Amino acid sequence: MSSDNSASPASLVGAVAGGQAGGVFTPLPPALVDQAPEPRTPTSADVVIESPLSRAPAVLPVAPAWTSDVELVGGQREGFVVRGASVRGTSHRGNAVVRQDAFCVGFHDGSDAVVLAVADGVSAGTRSEVGAFRYAREAVAMAAAILDHDPGATPESLAGQLVEVASRGDYLCRREFSDLSPQQFAATLALAVVDHRSARLVLVGDAALWLLHADGSWTPALGGGIDVLRDNRTAAMPFHAECAVTATVTLAPGDVIVAMTDGLGDPLATGDSPTGDYLAGRWLTPPDLFRFGIDLSFEASSYQDDRTAVAVWRRRP
């Protein structure tokens, strides 16, 4: 693996960005199909609550594995509490496939905001875990650089820089795996800038951002919803950076913003699933970091993909 030499923005705490700019990104075909199993409308019977990953048989991936089975990040700063977790799904554990999800999160001093991204490598890509890693980190670094100059930057201005994120992420991926095409690194992406009053959101593909309210109910803030489950085609970086959708949501007292890949978003979107009630009972207040990871590892017969979530709680209005 090549080392990265450039520094991430000084005002960003916790985000990782690196590499040197180079190459010209040429947009590739407009359609990309995630070769997942045929979609179906799940029911509440699909979810089996409270089943740690250690109970599922796991096959080691071929060495060297690019990602670990589990990644955890947690901390607090300036009234924010953050928990982030990514776990390898049962289907990947049983088939010696590495975790293809990734996330990146940090605090931006100048705007008093948490900046985060989650990414989900498209299953058809042979090294999509590398793309997920790169696009998540490059998106956070880009957002931090924009906030350095404009703390009130709109989600549209953030989305406007995703073409550069696509170009740089693709360059860094192919610098390490020069024999592979951009299709092999494709990944969906969700980006959020969360301050104490609102969340600025950007989305490419079938990841999602949800609000968990103080009464335990969930509302999709961007992405999500049952319609996503009926179509296994998804937009992805680096091909669809110009197709990003955006939103700004006002955060009520007690609201928790949660960015997630479809491994969690799909069961949450079914509406009749106990998943929402199960997680609401645990995430209305910040859980222990390891507890957060265990919460994310529930077992579900129809949902065996990797799962990633980054949640942000606010401790002051």
In a domain, 17, yes or no: no
Please report whether residue 259 resides in a domain: yes
Q: Give the model's pLDDT for residue 233.
A: 66
Whether cis (ω within 30° of 0) applies to the bond prior to 37 is: no
Is residue 10 one of the residues assigned to a domain? no
Q: Tell me the C-alpha distance between 308 and 102, whole Å.
A: 7
CA dihedral 259, 20, 166, 224 (to 10 degrees): -10
Q: Does a structural domain hold residue 262? A: yes
* For the chain, percent of residues with pLDDT exceeding 70: 74
pLDDT tens digits for range 272-311 = 568 888 899 999 999 999 999 999 987 766 677 789 999 9
pTM score above 0.75: yes
Residue 79 lies in a domain: yes
CA atoms 217, 249, 186, 21: torsion sign = negative
Contacts of 235 (CB under 8 A, 6+ apart): 32, 188, 204, 205, 206, 243
The more confident residue out of 262 and 116 is 116
Alpha helix (H) residue ranges in the chain: 90-94, 128-149, 155-159, 162-176, 262-269, 275-283, 289-296
Q: Is the dihedral of CA 233, 239, 243, 248 positive or negative?
A: positive
Q: Which domain holds residue 310?
A: 28-314
Report pLDDT digits (tens) over 125-160. 888 889 999 999 999 999 999 999 999 999 999 999
pLDDT in tens, 18-37: 333 333 333 334 334 444 43
Question: Is residue 5 included in any domain, yes or no?
Answer: no
DSSP-derived letter for residue 122 is -
Per-residue pLDDT, 68: 83
Whether residue 8 is contained in a domain is answered as: no
What is the count of structural domains for the chain?
A: 1
Question: Would you place residue 74 in the very low, low, confident or very high pLDDT band (cuts 50, 70, 90)?
Answer: very high
CATH code (residue 145):
3.60.40.10
> Is residue 7 a part of any domain in this protein?
no
